[in-house]
Structure 1
Amino acid sequence: MKRSRKAPPVLATAPLPASALPAPAAGAGAGVAAWRLRWSPDASRTGLSAFETVEDDRAGSHPSAAPHIKVSGGGFRFDVHTADRDRAADRQRHEVTGMREGGSYLRWRLGETWRVTYSMYVPGTLRATTTFTHIMQTKQPGRGTSPITVTSLRRVGGRQTIEHKIFAENVLVGRTDLEPLQDRWVDVEYEIKIANGAAGWVRWVLRSGGTTVVDATKTGVDTFLADRVRPKWGIYRSLGDTSGSLRNTYMLLRDMRGYQLVGETAPALRRRL
């Protein structure tokens, strides 16, 4: 039997934007649901303990460059070098997983809806590749499990793009050109309804300089494997790129927040869709 963990304290409650309210069930009042802030790490205070786990050069391939994941400028920095190798020598991985608050980590469960927001800085040296370069994932914890969703930097028809996909079904949620978003801070919003079969949905939003670049939603998708779901951030890339795009590079994240949708009605379908 699994031990239950005490839920971390509620820090704040934010109203759910009207565009994202779940549709009320018959006889239920509208506007019942709200996003509750569950995770709001202060990088300078909590450091990497803001995350459930830290996967920094798991194979010990490049100790002279350690740490590859660190606190920097009030946020988090992920460095990757062409010399780095993961346990599988055909790829590189420096990632953090999950969200830790108040000494315990948050568990995203079947039937729940979660939202994460953060600002991301992708330099010009972190380039899209012909094989995978993932910078955010959702996964079931445990070795050998496939991603559920991925944000990737991918070459498409020779163009550098940033995209979000449902991994197993290879369903594209949204995609846009990468280069206009490099060397500047970009705001990210990500929402996921955790459900089996066709009951799940995902929303992915990118904003740059106050302009919405992508606001894409995909419904009718499977967003659950088993146990629970957790987010991952960092640089996870294949060495099989054929475009010559692999460089020593980095990525920055700051202003990270995690929200849970409370007061959901059933079925939790969004009125905007």
Structure 2
Amino acid sequence: MSTSRRAVLGAAIGGAVAAGIPGLATAANAQGTPGSAAAWQLRWSPSASVDKLRAFETLEDDRADSHPAAAPHILAEGDTFRFTMHTVDRDTSTDRQRHEVTGCRDGNSFLQWKKGETWRITYSMFIPSSLKATTTFTHIMQMKQPGQGTGPIVVQSLRRSGGRQTIELKLFEQNITVGSTDLEPLHNKWTDVDFQMKIADGSAGSVRWILSSGGTTIIDRSRSGVDTFLADRVRPKWGIYRSLGDSSGSLQNCHLLLSQMRAYQLV
């Protein structure tokens, strides 16, 4: 990771208190330094070149076997994880496409995000101009309850409205947009993501979403007093999951790159 990228993520971690999100660490202890206040403990830091796809709990790579000639659609490539989507790819629900990974695997086990806990994910993403926002859903990160038939809790999505391409974070079940910013300035460059989530029922949950690029904070939004739990546990997902119902002509062969993935728990 470059010096400037480390500085941006460090500043984001140090600024947790400024957002006023319940339960987050103080600035002095935000990186896990000893002290009496709560601190972020690093729980997951996979290396794409070493751990490869063993970094994740499960893979959802062309579940319908719609395009075997292009397999694998998800792979570790140098120090990045790459998700490649083609216009001919189909999920088992044929009105959509999906190449995603789930969860955070650490050796022979995986992280369990439970109710009452606070978690943070940081990583860098590269969105090429071929991965466009669409008039229907295009999710590139989700927080979900594991299992079939449950909707997402939180989605990070590429959404087109009135011709404008945006990237947004939304509380899905409650239809609450936490924040949104223009996507096009982020195309073809690395963008740092810092996502924080206090897992709780009713109005006891909270989220914070920070995007930074080139040493500059693009957006920093938070929302408290929200429901961030369904049942069992919360599990993150990354990749490309998009509807074929786009009406803007934005669906193209594309890819998404992720690097420097980290998970922290507030303890």
SS of residue matched to 1:236: strand
1: distance between equivalents of 2:194 and 2:41?
A: 15
For the aligned residues, what is the CA RMSD?
1.7
1:102 aligns with 2:110: no
Structure 1 length-normalised TM: 0.87
Alignment match, 1:130: 135
Cα pair distance change 1:204/1:22, threshold 3 Å = same
1:17 aligns with 2:14: yes
Residue 75 of structure 1: how far off its partner (Å) = 1.2
2: distance between equivalents of 1:256 and 1:67?
A: 21
Amino acid at match of 1:19: A
1:233 aligns with 2:238: yes
Residue 102 of structure 1: how far off its partner (Å) = 2.1
Aligned mate of 1:210, from 195, 215, 227: 215
SS of residue matched to 2:49: helix
Aligned mate of 1:43, from 48, 60, 63: 48
1:89 aligns with 2:94: yes
Preserved contact between residue 22 and residue 206 of structure 2 (Cα < 8 Å): no
SS of residue matched to 2:16: helix
Preserved contact between residue 22 and residue 33 of structure 1 (Cα < 8 Å): no
SS of residue matched to 1:64: helix
Within a 5 Å distance, the mapping from 1:1-273 to structure 2 comes to 17=14, 19-20=16-17, 22=22, 32-262=37-267
Preserved contact between residue 56 and residue 68 of structure 1 (Cα < 8 Å): yes
1: distance between equivalents of 2:98 and 2:37?
A: 41
Cα pair distance change 1:184/1:18, threshold 3 Å = closer
Residue 18 of structure 1: how far off its partner (Å) = 5.5
SS of residue matched to 1:147: coil
2: distance between equivalents of 1:72 and 1:62?
A: 20
Q: Give aligned-pair identity as a percent.
A: 65
Preserved contact between residue 23 and residue 198 of structure 2 (Cα < 8 Å): no
Higher mean C-alpha deviation, range 30-39 or range 66-75: 30-39
1: distance between equivalents of 2:225 and 2:36?
A: 23
1: distance between equivalents of 2:107 and 2:249?
A: 43
Amino acid at match of 1:52: E
1:54-107 deviations in Å (ceiling 9; x for gaps):
000000000000000001131100000000000000000000000001210000
2: distance between equivalents of 1:18 and 1:245?
A: 36
Amino acid at match of 1:77: R
2: distance between equivalents of 1:150 and 1:18?
A: 23
SS of residue matched to 1:44: coil
Amino acid at match of 1:194: I
Residue 258 of structure 1: how far off its partner (Å) = 0.3
Residue 159 of structure 1: how far off its partner (Å) = 0.1
Amino acid at match of 2:93: A
Residue 156 of structure 1: how far off its partner (Å) = 1.9
Cα pair distance change 1:123/1:31, threshold 3 Å = farther
Amino acid at match of 1:118: Y
2: distance between equivalents of 1:23 and 1:238?
A: 36
Amino acid at match of 2:250: S
2: distance between equivalents of 1:66 and 1:37?
A: 33
SS of residue matched to 1:48: helix
Amino acid at match of 2:173: A
Whose helix fraction is larger, Structure 1's or Structure 2's? 2
